[in-house]
Amino acid sequence: MVMEAPLSRSGSLKSAARAAAKLAALSAPTTPTVISPSPVASSALETITEIPWTRIDLDLYEVARGGYIVGYVEVVGAVFVALGGTRYDRAVEVSQHLTFHAAVDVLVRRGA
């Protein structure tokens, strides 16, 4: 049985941008006396994130942070193996997880 990770997730750039636009529209000032942007709108813009993985093969994903490769997630049966390193042939196993997103989060946080 081959388990595949989703090609998109709720934290994608498009959905975050839509949520920020809705929040900015709701918190728009009704009077022209407010000069600075509202803190609610600025915090919504900070939630815009990029999808940190790219599918390389049927069971292999490349994970990047800030444009730099931090590791790979390999699907092995029902387990997602997080491999840390910039090159797949030299990557070292960091951890094993039951969910794809947990394996990606470990690599993204490790690359910080």
Q: What angle do CA 86, 92, 96 make, to 5 degrees?
A: 115
Q: What is the pLDDT of residue 9?
A: 44
Residue 15 pLDDT greater than 60, yes or no: no
Q: Evaluate if pTM is beyond 0.75.
A: no
CA atoms 101, 94, 51, 42: torsion sign: positive
For residues 78 and 64, the answer to whether their CB atoms sit within 8 Å is no
Q: How far is the C-alpha of 99 from the C-alpha of 4, rounded, in Å?
A: 10
pLDDT, tens only, 38-53: 555 555 545 556 688 9
Residue 19 pLDDT greater than 50, yes or no: yes
Q: Where does residue 53 rank: exposed (0-12), middle (13-18), buried (19+ CB within 10 A)? A: buried
Structure tokens at 112: 């910080």
